[in-house]
Amino acid sequence: MKKLISIIGSDDSDKNLSTYALETAEEIGGLIAQKNGILICGGGGGVMEAACKGAKEKNGITVGILPKSKEEVNKYVDIPIISGLGNRRNSIIVYTSDVIIAIAGRWGTLNEISYSMIYNKPLILIKGTGGIVDQICNKELEKINDSKNYYFVNSATEAIEKAIKLIEN
Amino acid sequence: MKKLISIIGSDDSDKNLSTYALETAEEIGGLIAQKNGILICGGGGGVMEAACKGAKEKNGITVGILPKSKEEVNKYVDIPIISGLGNRRNSIIVYTSDVIIAIAGRWGTLNEISYSMIYNKPLILIKGTGGIVDQICNKELEKINDSKNYYFVNSATEAIEKAIKLIEN
Amino acid sequence: MKKLISIIGSDDSDKNLSTYALETAEEIGGLIAQKNGILICGGGGGVMEAACKGAKEKNGITVGILPKSKEEVNKYVDIPIISGLGNRRNSIIVYTSDVIIAIAGRWGTLNEISYSMIYNKPLILIKGTGGIVDQICNKELEKINDSKNYYFVNSATEAIEKAIKLIEN
Amino acid sequence: MKKLISIIGSDDSDKNLSTYALETAEEIGGLIAQKNGILICGGGGGVMEAACKGAKEKNGITVGILPKSKEEVNKYVDIPIISGLGNRRNSIIVYTSDVIIAIAGRWGTLNEISYSMIYNKPLILIKGTGGIVDQICNKELEKINDSKNYYFVNSATEAIEKAIKLIEN
C-alpha cells in the first residue's frame, strides 16, 4: 500500500506566512509524489495548497480532508473528503497519516501537532519556516512530556529523507 | 474534479449476503472506474471489498473510510482514511459522496441511508440485492417523509447510468 | 450513578407530529424525573422539547446534546452540550444512554434507531405515536437482522416500566 | 441557564502532576459549585477528578465528557457523556463551555487549549500549576498569533473571579 504523508501548516489567512514556507511546502509536495507517496492535508489554502500544487506538478495523488464543504477545497486536491466536522477534522488528518510534516502554522497547526503526540505519530518540523513550528524548534515546548517522536530538519529534502526512513522502520 | 461515488452495503459478517449482491457490487465498482469516478466506501469486507475489487480490475482509484485502524482495510483499497470514529464514520462516507449506491445491508447500511436522506444526497438502491435495500424497494419505508431523492434500479448498469445522470444534472 | 434515559423523535418541523405524540413525550419526561433518571435528548423542539418540559415539571435534570450552537436549545434544557458535529451528534445521544425511548420520528430518528441497534443499546418504541416508530412497530423492519434488543410498548407508563426493568437487569 | 465552566489539565498518568495543582483543581471545583455553575470536564482522573470532587463537596453538578466508555469515569461525575470519539472529545468539552480554566497539563491539555483559541473561547491559565500551563504563562507561546482571549491568574480564587467576569460581560 502507498504511504500516506501529511503536510500541516498555516492557511492563507496567516499574514506572517513567508514565501520560504510556501516554497518549502511546494517542494515537499513534489518530493512526496516522486517517492510514490500520497499527500494528505486539510485541503485548504496556504501551506496546504502549495504542497498540493507541488505534488500535482509531479503527478502525485492529493487528498484534502476538509472541514465542512467542497467549496473550501484548493484546486490541486484530487480527492476531497468532506468531514462535516469543522476543525475537528484535524484529528483525522493526523490519524490517517504514516508521518506528519509541519511548516509554519498557528493554533490549528498546534492542534494537529498535539494530536500527533497524543497518537504517537512521527512528526517532522522544518526549521526556519516560522510560526509555531519555529517556536517548537527553538525548544520552547521541550518540557511538555518525554515524547521522543518528533524530529527537527532544515529543508524539504531532509524532511522527505527522514519521512521515508521513519516509514521504512 | 473527479466524481466521488460511494457504495454502501453489508460487510462479510452478514450471513444473508448473496453471491448476486457481491457480483453486483463488483460490477458497479468496475463501472465507476470505467466512468473515471473515484470509489468511496467504508473500506471493509463484503459489498465494500467486492466493489473495490471491481474498481481495481479496471484501474480505478478506491478510498476506504475506516472506523478505527488500518488493520480493518480490504486489500483493494488505495487510500485508507482512518477516521478513529468507529461506525460514526458512516456520516463522512455519505457526506463526501456525490451519489450513494446501496446493495443489501443491515443496520449499518440503514444508518448510512438515513444520513443520505438527512443530507439530501441522491441515493440509488439496487433491487434484488436483499437486506434493508429490498425492504426499502418494497416501499416499506415510503411513508417516512416526502424525500424524493432516492431511486430504485434493477442492475449495476442501470445504477451507474442513473448515478452519472444525477451527477451531471 | 443516576440512570441516563434518552428520548428520541421528531422535532417541530415534522408536520405529521401529533398532539398524542407530544403528550406522550411530556408524560415520559415527567416519569423519568420521578424515577430519578436523567433525561438525555437532542435538545431541540418537538418531541425533545415536550420531554424536557415534562421532566422539568417534576424537577428532573435535562441534558440536550445539540448539533451546532446554544441557539438551537429548547428552554427546558439544563445542560446543553454543544457537539459542533451537526446531526452526527445522534451517535453520542445513543451511546451515552442506558435505554432509548422512541416516539414518532423521521430520518433523523431512524438514524438514532440504527445507532441503537449498532451499539446494541436497548430501544423502546411507543406504538401509536406515528412516523418511523409506527412503521417499525408494524414489523416493517423486522427482517433487517436478528437483533432482539428492541421492545414495543403502548404508553408512556409501559415505556418507563420497561426502561427501569432493562436498566436494573 | 446555568453557566458551564470547564476545567482541563493532566490526568493521573502525569508523573509531574503536583499536589498544588490537584488542590487548586479541587478548590476551583468547589468555587464553581458555589457560584451555581456546572462543571464540565473530560471525566477522568488527576485534575479532572480533583475538580469534580471539589464540586460535589459543595453540592455542584458535574459533567464528564468521556473518550470511550463509562468505565473511564471518576466517581464524582454526575452525568457521564460517552462520546465514543476518543481524545477527539476534547473539542466538545471546549465548544460546550462558556469559559475554560487550565491547570498543569501535557499534550492533551495543549490540544484543548488550541481548540479554545480556534473557537475563540475565553481561557484562564493558573500560574504555578506546572506543565504546559506554566510554559504558556512564561510567554513561550506568545507569538503564535494575536489572540487576546486568554488570561493568566495566580490562584483558584482569582480564576473563578475572572471566569464570572468573563461570563457576565
pLDDT tens per residue across span D85-107 = 999 999 999 999 999 999 999 99
What residue spans define the domains of chain C? 4-168
Within 8 A of C83 by CB-CB distance, chain A residues are none
The arithmetic mean of pLDDT across residues D44-53, rounded, is 98
pLDDT band at B153 (very low <50, low <70, confident <90, very high): very high
Q: What is the pLDDT of residue B148?
A: 75
Chains touching B (3+ CB pairs < 8 Å): A, C, D
Contact C84 A88 (CB under 8 A): yes
Residue C169 has pLDDT above 90, yes or no: no
Residue B143 has pLDDT above 70, yes or no: no
Evaluate whether the domain defined by D4-168 bears CATH number 3.10.510.20: no
Q: Are C92 and C64 in contact (CB under 8 A)?
A: no
Q: Is B20 helix (H, G, I), strand (E, B) or coil?
A: helix
Q: What is the pLDDT of residue C54?
A: 98
Higher-confidence residue: B29 or A147? B29
pLDDT band at C146 (very low <50, low <70, confident <90, very high): low
Within 8 A of D110 by CB-CB distance, chain A residues are 110, 114, 141, 144
pLDDT band at B53 (very low <50, low <70, confident <90, very high): very high
Higher-confidence residue: B9 or B149? B9
The arithmetic mean of pLDDT across residues D135-147, rounded, is 65
Q: What is the pLDDT of residue D29?
A: 98
CA distances for C45 relative to B83, B139, C96, C128, angstroms: 31, 29, 20, 20
pLDDT tens-place string over residues A125-155: 999 999 999 988 776 565 555 567 889 999 9
Interchain CB contact of D94 with A (< 8 Å): no
Of D111, D140, D147, the CB nearest to A111: D111
Q: Determine how many CB atoms are found less than 10 A away from the CB of residue A146.
A: 8
Interchain CB contact of D165 with B (< 8 Å): no
Residue D143 has pLDDT above 70, yes or no: no
pLDDT tens-place string over residues C74-131: 999 999 999 999 999 999 999 999 999 999 999 999 999 999 999 999 999 999 999 9
Q: What is the pLDDT of residue C136?
A: 82
Within 8 A of C92 by CB-CB distance, chain D residues are 81-85
Give CATH for domain A4-164. 3.40.50.450
Of D1, D65, D91, the CB nearest to C84: D91
pLDDT band at B138 (very low <50, low <70, confident <90, very high): confident
State the Cα–Cα distance between residues B119 and B114, nearest whole angstrom. Answer: 9
Q: What is the pLDDT of residue A50?
A: 98
Within 8 A of A88 by CB-CB distance, chain C residues are 84-85
Chains touching D (3+ CB pairs < 8 Å): A, B, C
Q: Are A89 and A66 in contact (CB under 8 A)?
A: yes
pLDDT band at C158 (very low <50, low <70, confident <90, very high): very high
Residue A161 has pLDDT above 90, yes or no: yes
ipTM of this predicted structure:
0.93
Task: Pick the residue of D79, D93, D94, D112 with the most C CBs within 10 A to test the interface with C by mutation.
Answer: D79
Which residue of chain B comes nearest to A37, CA vs CA? B79
Residue A64 has pLDDT above 70, yes or no: yes
User: Hunting for cell 445513543 — which residue is that?
Assistant: C94
Q: Residue A37 has which C-alpha cell?
A: 507517496
Chains touching C (3+ CB pairs < 8 Å): A, B, D
Q: Dump the DSSP string for A29-71.
A: HHHHHHTT-EEEE---STHHHHHHHHHHHTT-EEEEEESS-GG
Flag whether the pTM goes above 0.90.
yes
Interface of D with C in 96-155 (CB under 8 A): 96
